[in-house]
Structure 1
Amino acid sequence: MQLLVVGALLSPGKRTVTAALRVLGLADDPRFGTFHHLLSRARWSSLQASRVLLSLLVTAFVPSGPLVLGLDDTRERRTGAKISAKGISRDPVRFSHGHFVKASGLRWLSLMLLTPIPWAHRLWALPFLTLLVPSQRYNEERGHRHKSVTDWARQMLRLVQRWCPGRPLIVVADSAYAAIRWLSDLQQDRPITVITKLRLDAALYDPAPDRAAGQMGRPRLKGDRLPTLASLVHDPQTRWEHVRLNRWYGEIHRQVDIISQTVVWDHTGLPPLRVRWVLIRDPKGKFSTQALLCTDLLQTPRQMLEYFVQRWQLEVTVEEVRAHLGVETQWQWTDLAIARTAPATLGLFCLVTLMAHERWKSHHVRVRRAAWSAKTLPTLVDALAEVRRALWKVPTFRTSAPEREMVQVPLEFIERLTDALYSAA
C-alpha cells in the first residue's frame, strides 16, 4: 500500500496501478497482481483511513475552535457496462447559469476541511472524506434502499461529529442542501451549524407568539406570513446596512449591502425551522442579489458571509485534483476498487499538504517562478514538487547495478530534467 501511495504521488499523467509500478521501477515485478488486489480484494477500511487523515489535519492546522467543513458533490465521467453504480445527473463542474450540462458517470460526495495554510497564506479545502453516491437504478437492481445525496451528507456529518467530540461543526454548502427536513435533522441532539443559500421566494414567517395564559389547543409553530425576500429587494422601505468584507471571491476589502432577520421557514408537511437569513446586494451590480440562511441564530450576518465565501475553495480543490493528481484517470472497474480509488486519489491532496507542511517547517519554501509569472505564494503544484523532491531521495526504487556503464551528464541538464519531473501533472 505504501508503494502504491508513493507511486501515485510520483506518477505524471494517469494514476493507474501500472503507472505507479512503472515509476517505482517495478514494471518487471511478477507480483503485479497483488497491487491490483489491494484495491479490489484486500480487507481494509476507507472510513478508518479518512478518520486518521482528519486527525492529522486537525492536529496540524486546527488544534482548537470550530471545524469549518465544505460539502460538495462532483461527477466522475465513467462509461462502460461494468461501471454499475453510474447514473445521469447535472454536472456541477461544467454547469453554468446559461448552460445546463448532464453527464453520465459516478457521483461523489466530498467533505472538505476549510482551513488556512500557514505557508500558503490562504485558505485551502482539504478533501478528507469522499463517498460514492450510487444511482437509483443501481440500488433498485440490488434491492437496496436508495439514499439521496442529503441522506449521505447527514451520515457523513454525524460520523465526523463522533470522530471529533466536543468540536463544533460549521458546514457551508450550495443551494442543493437548502432542504428543511435535512436541516432540521441536523439540529437534533448535538446541533450542526449549516450555512447555505436560500430561495428568494421561500415561505418565511414570524416566530410563534407566546402562549396566552389559559389558552386551549395546540401551541402555534409559527407567526404571521412575512413578505418574500424578492419583494424586499425592490422595496424602498428596506434599510440596507453597508458592510466591508476582508475577502470576497478573490477580492480584498469588498463592500456589500446586507439586511438580516431571524424567522421561521416553513413548508407544508415539513417541520418548521428557525433560521437567520441575510440578503446580500452588490452596490457595483456585478452579481445578482442573493440570500443565505444559517441554522445558528447567534451567528452574525458578517460571520455568515465570511464562512460562506470560503465555499469557493471547494471548486478550486476539485479543479486542482483533476489537473495535478489524476482524478478521473483511474481505470478500476470492480465495485470495491471503484469505491476506494477515487476517495484515495482525492485524499492525496491532504497527504501532499501534510507532507509539504512538515518539510517546510525546516526548509525554505520553494515557489516555481518565471519571468512571465508574478507568482509569489506556493500552490498545490509547488507542494507536490516539494514532496517529490523528498521522495526521490528515499531508497525505495531499484537502482542500476554496479557493473553498469556510467555516462556523464551535464548538471544543468539534470536540474532542468528534475524540475520538469517534480512539476509534472
Structure 2
Amino acid sequence: MAVVVTPAWSKQPWSLPFLVVLSTAPAFSVLKGKRHKTIAMWASQMISLMHRWLPDRDIVVLGDGAYNCLALGLQATKRSVTLITPGQLDHAFHDPLLPAEHRPKGGKPRIVGKRQPNLDQVLVDPSTQWQENEVQWYGQGIRVIQWCSGTAWWHRAKLPPLPIRWVLVRDPSGKYEPNVLVCSNPNWQALLIIATYMKRWSLEGTFEEARAHLGIQTQRQWSDLAIERTTPLRLVYLQFGDVDGNPSGCSRADRRRAGRLVSQICCHLS
C-alpha cells in the first residue's frame, strides 16, 4: 500500500510505499495446510489497520481488478474509507429498495429494488446520454473520453447491498476498450472518480522501479524466511535516501528544490 503525493513543483503524482503484506498462492496455502487468504482479504485488513492509525482522516483507496470485491467495498464503507476499483460490464446493479408502502405484498422480503440494465447494454443503448471531456489518462497524457454515470446498489447473495456510483468510460474513436469504474461513495462526481483513479498509474511506476533497481521479484534468496524478511524492505527502500550534506555535484538551487520536496511530502502526510 502506498500514499500518492503530488509535489507542488511536479505535475506527476508519486506513490510512496508504507505498508507491505506478502500474499501466497492458493497452492502454497494448501501445501502448508493453511486457509488461503485472497488479495481482497489482505486489503481489508490493511484498510482496517490504516483506519485505526488515522481515524479522523478521509482515506481513498485505489485498486486494480483484484480489489473489485463487494465484501471489500462493504468493509471500506464500514471504516468510512472510499474504495475505487475497475468494474465489470456484467455487474448486478439494482435500484434502491422501495419504501415499505410501495413494495409488493407477500413472498420473500426483498433486499434491493429492481435490477438495472447491465452496463454492456448501457454501452450500446442509443438512448444513453454520453458526456465528453479531456482527462489525464494512465500516464499517457490528455485523452478525449466519453462517459456516463449512475448510482446503484451492488448486491450479491448472503451479503448486504452496497450503495455505489458507477462510471462507464468509452473512447469516441473506438480504439480502446470501454472501462468501468466503481466507487463505494455514491456522492462522488464522475469526473472526480476518473481523475482520482488515474493517480493509481504512479504505483505501476513504483513497482517497475522496484523490479528494475531493487530486484523485488528477482531476489536470490531461496529460503521462505529470507524472502519474507527482505521483500517488504525492498519496497520501503524507496522511502529513504542517503544524501551528502554538501554534495559537490549539486547547486544551491538543487538543494533548495530537494528541501522543498521533503517539505511538501511532510505537509501532505501531516
TM-score using structure 2 length: 0.83
Q: Kindly indicate whether the alpha-carbon contact (under 8 Å) linking 1:277 and 1:292 is maintained by their aligned counterparts in 2.
A: yes
* 2:40 counterpart of 1:144: no
Partner of 1:196: 85
Question: 1:337, CA displacement in angstroms?
Answer: 2.6
Instruction: Determine helix, strand or coil for the equivalent of 2:13.
Output: strand
Give the whole-Å Cα distance in 2 for the aligned partners of 1:322 and 1:120.
24
Partner of 1:128: 18
Q: Kindly indicate whether the alpha-carbon contact (under 8 Å) linking 1:243 and 1:255 is maintained by their aligned counterparts in 2.
A: yes
Partner of 2:231: 342
Aligned pairs (5 A) from 1:19-418: 111-188=1-78, 190-212=79-101, 220-245=110-135, 247-352=136-241, 363-365=252-254
Residues 207 and 331 (structure 1), Cα distance of their counterparts in 2 relative to 1, 3 Å cut: same
User: Match for 1:350: what amino acid?
Assistant: Q
Give the whole-Å Cα distance in 2 for the aligned partners of 1:214 and 1:263.
18
Give the whole-Å Cα distance in 2 for the aligned partners of 1:315 and 1:272.
31
Residues 9-41 of structure 1: CA deviation (Å, up to 9, x unaligned): xxxxxxxxxxxxxxxxxxxxxxxxxxxxxxxxx
Give the whole-Å Cα distance in 2 for the aligned partners of 1:127 and 1:306.
21
Paired residues, number: 253
Q: Kindly indicate whether the alpha-carbon contact (under 8 Å) linking 1:131 and 1:339 is maintained by their aligned counterparts in 2.
A: no
Question: 1:171, CA displacement in angstroms?
Answer: 0.8
Give the whole-Å Cα distance in 2 for the aligned partners of 1:359 and 1:129.
32
Residues 141 and 329 (structure 1), Cα distance of their counterparts in 2 relative to 1, 3 Å cut: closer
Residues 300 and 331 (structure 1), Cα distance of their counterparts in 2 relative to 1, 3 Å cut: same
Q: Kindly indicate whether the alpha-carbon contact (under 8 Å) linking 1:209 and 1:220 is maintained by their aligned counterparts in 2.
A: no
Question: 1:239, CA displacement in angstroms?
Answer: 0.8
Residues 141 and 235 (structure 1), Cα distance of their counterparts in 2 relative to 1, 3 Å cut: closer
Question: 1:182, CA displacement in angstroms?
Answer: 2.1
The structure number with the bigger radius of gyration is: 1
Unaligned runs of 5+ in 1: 1-110, 367-377, 379-425
Residues 329 and 359 (structure 1), Cα distance of their counterparts in 2 relative to 1, 3 Å cut: farther
Q: Kindly indicate whether the alpha-carbon contact (under 8 Å) linking 1:115 and 1:124 is maintained by their aligned counterparts in 2.
A: yes
Instruction: Determine helix, strand or coil for the equivalent of 2:22.
Output: strand
Give the whole-Å Cα distance in 1 for the aligned partners of 2:72 and 2:149.
23
Residues 369-424 of structure 1: CA deviation (Å, up to 9, x unaligned): xxxxxxxxx9xxxxxxxxxxxxxxxxxxxxxxxxxxxxxxxxxxxxxxxxxxxxxx
Q: Kindly indicate whether the alpha-carbon contact (under 8 Å) linking 2:131 and 2:146 is maintained by their aligned counterparts in 1.
A: yes
Unaligned runs of 5+ in 2: 259-270
Give the whole-Å Cα distance in 2 for the aligned partners of 1:174 and 1:329.
23
Give the whole-Å Cα distance in 2 for the aligned partners of 1:112 and 1:186.
16
User: Match for 1:226: what amino acid?
Assistant: Q
TM-score using structure 1 length: 0.54
Q: Kindly indicate whether the alpha-carbon contact (under 8 Å) linking 2:139 and 2:201 is maintained by their aligned counterparts in 1.
A: no
